Chain A
Amino acid sequence: MNDPMIAVRGLRKAYGRTDVLRGVDLTVRRGEIFALLGPNGAGKTTTVNILTTLVRPDGGTATIAGADVVHDPAAVRRSIALTGQYASVDEFQTGEENLVMMADLAHLPRRAVRRRAAELLERFDLADAARRPVGTYSGGMRRRLDLAISLVADPQVLVLDEPTTGLDPASRSRLWEVVRGLAADGTTILLTTQYLEEADRLADTIAVLAEGRIAARGTAAELKALVAGDHVRIAFSDAASLAAARTLPVAGLDAAETDEKDLALTFPSAEPVRAIRDVLDQAETRDLAVVGVSVVRPTLDDVFLALTGPHTLSGVPHTDARRGDTPGSDTPDTDSPSTDRPATEEALR
C-alpha cells in the first residue's frame, strides 16, 4: 500500500539528435495530485507518452502500480487512463454514445456499460446533454466528457496532459473541482501544465521540468521558498517624489528597481511592514506624495522563471551547463499568465 503509484528512474528519450528527456526521476504516491510543470518543449508530453505506453523510452525505468511500462504494457494499460491535450471525443456521436463505446472497448461487463455511462454523465453534469451530438458541446463540456471517458474503467492512475489548455476561466476552475474530487476518491493524478496557477491551486507536489530534467520539486510553498523573499512596492504621484525617494535611508532601498511608467519603487525586504513604515514616515517629513504601498510575495511565476528562464538564481539546484544546445527547449513559456508579480499585493492604510 505504501509503494509509490508511479516510480520513474533516470528516464531518457531522444528524437534524432535532440535529447528530450535527460534522466527524469519522479515518485508519485497513491492518491496524490502531482503536477509536472514546464515550458513548451521541456519534455512534459514525452514523459506522459512513456508513462501511458505510447512511446518507448531509450533508457531508465518507469513503473505504474508496480507494472513496468516497457515489459508489461498490458498491465499498465489496465491501471492507467490518459486525457490528452486535445479532447479526443467523436463529434458525430452523442456524449452517451462516446461513453458507451469506450466502456465497450474497456471490456466492462455488458450489463454494466449503460449504468456506468449514466453514472459518469451524472457525475460530470452532462446528463442533460447526454443525447446531443458532441459537435454541439462547449469546450468545457468536451473536456468534462473527455475526463469522464478516461474514468470508464475506474483507473487507479489518471494522466492529464494539459487538461485546461484553451478553456475559459470558469470552465477551468470547474475542471479543477472535478480533479480534486477524483483525488479525494483515491485516484492518483499526474497532470502536466504550463499554467503556474493550475499547479499552485491543484497539486500536492510540483516538479518543474526544464530541458529534460527535473529542475526542482516540492510543494508550492517549498518551491516559492527557493526564490528570494518578500518585496515592498511603493508608488508615488510624480517623478520628482520618485527620484527623491530613492535616496531615503531605508534598509534594502538601495537595491530598488525603479518603474518609471508606474512611478514605483520595488525592493527586497526581510521586514516589509517595518520598511513600509520607515518609508511612509520619511516621505511625510520630506513631503513626498506616496499614492500606494504593497507587499509582494514570490509567486510560482518567479520560481518558474528562475528555473527555466534566462537567469538562474543562486541557491536553485539548476546545474545544466549546456543550455541552448537543445532546439526549442530554451524558449521561455510565452503562454503562461502574467510574468509580473500580481499575486498577493496587500494594500496598507
Chain B
Amino acid sequence: MTTTLPAPTGTTRPPAVRAHRGAPLRDVVTMTRRETRRTLRSVDGLVTAFALPVLIMIVFVVIFGGAISGSTGGDYIDYVVPGVLVMCLGMNSATAAIAVAQDMTSGTIDRFKTLPILGPAPLWGHVVASVVRNLTSAAVVILAALAMGFRPEAGLGGWLGFAGFAALSVLTFTWISAALGLVLSVDSSQSVNMIFLFVPYLSSGFVPVDTMPGWLHGFAEHQPFTPIIESVRGLLMGTPDGGTILTACVWLLAFLAASVVSGSLLYRRRTAR
C-alpha cells in the first residue's frame, strides 16, 4: 500500500474500446461461468454439491439400511438410491436461492443493471450453472452408489430417460429456488433447502408408504415427490411405468411454468426502475 500510482500521462484518451450491443448468449455464458466458480471455490458449495449427497447415502445404506431392508423386498440400496438422488438434486438446487438473494441484496445487481446486457442474463446464469452442477453431482452420487453395491437394471434407453428426467427435475427445482431467492433475504434463503430435505421423507422415497401411519398415506401417495422418485426408480431399475412418469412430468412442468413466470416477473420488478 505504499507504492505510488503512475502519474496520468498526457491528456489523450487511450484508444477507445467500444462496447458492442446485444450478445445474449455471451451474457448467459459469462454469468454461468461466474456461478460455476462460486460453487467450485467455496468449501460450502463443494460440500453441498458433492460430499453431502454421498454422506446422506452412506447414512441410509450403511446405518439405516440393515434395519429397514426387511420391508422393501430386496436390497435396500436399490430401493433408496432414487430417493437419495432426488433429495440431493433438490437440496443442491436450493443453493441457487442463496446465490440469487446475495446478488439481489448486494450492489452487484445494480452494477449488472447499468451494463448493456440482456436483462435476465444474471438470473439465467444462476439457473444454467445450477443445472450443470446438479447433473454432475447426480453422476457422483450414482458412482458412489455403484461402489456401495447399487445394481441398476436400466438399459441404454432407461439411462437416457433418467438423464432427461433428472434434467427436467433439476431445472424445476432450480427455478423454484431462484424465484424464492428473489423474495427472501440472504438469511431466510438458507432454509429453502429444508423443503427439499424434508418433503421427500414424506414420500415413497425412503420407505414404502404403507409402512407409514394411516393419516400420512393421503399426503405421501399424492405429493409430487412420490411420482418423481417412483419415476427415477422405474427408469433405473428397468421397470418404467408410463402413468407414473406422466404424472411426475405434469407436476414438474406445472411447477416449472409457475416458477419461471413468477421468477421472471419478480426479477423484472426487482430490477425495474
A154 to B20, alpha carbons, bound, how many Å? 12
A20 to B26, alpha carbons, bound, how many Å? 38
- A154 surroundings in chain B (CB, below 8 A): 13-14, 16-18
A92 touches B115 (CB 8 A): no
B34 touches which of A81, A88, A93, A133 (Cβ 8 Å): A93
A33 to B26, alpha carbons, bound, how many Å? 35
Give the interface segment out of A107-115, A218-226, A273-281, A286-294: A107-115
Count how many chain A residues have C-beta atoms less than 8 Å from C-beta atoms of the other chain. 54
B116 touches which of A92, A106, A125, A138 (Cβ 8 Å): A106
- A77 surroundings in chain B (CB, below 8 A): 114-116
Kindly count the residue-residue contacts between A and B in the assembled complex, taking CB atoms under 8 Å apart.
125
Contacting A at CB under 8 A, from B107-162, are: 107-108, 110-117, 121
Name the distance in Å between A201's Cβ and chain B's nearest Cβ.
16
A154 to B29, alpha carbons, bound, how many Å? 23
> Does B37 belong to the interface (CB within 8 Å)?
yes
- A19 surroundings in chain B (CB, below 8 A): none
Count how many chain B residues have C-beta atoms less than 8 Å from C-beta atoms of the other chain. 43
B13 touches A88 (CB 8 A): no
Give the interface segment out of B2-10, B174-182, B191-199, B226-234: B2-10
Q: CB-nearest residue of chain B relative to A152? A: B17
A181 touches which of B7, B20, B22, B115 (Cβ 8 Å): B7
- A263 surroundings in chain B (CB, below 8 A): none
With A107-B20, A140-B1, A186-B11 as known contacts, state yes or no: A123 contacts B116, CB within 8 Å: no
> Does B63 belong to the interface (CB within 8 Å)?
no
Give the interface segment out of A50-58, A296-304, A328-336: A50-58
Give the interface segment out of A170-178, A305-313, A316-324, A337-345: A170-178
> Does B71 belong to the interface (CB within 8 Å)?
no
A: residues with CB less than 8 A from B are 52-56, 73-74, 77-78, 80-82, 84-88, 90, 92-93, 97, 101-102, 104-109, 112, 116, 119, 123-125, 133, 138, 140, 149, 152-154, 170-171, 174, 177-178, 180-182, 184-187
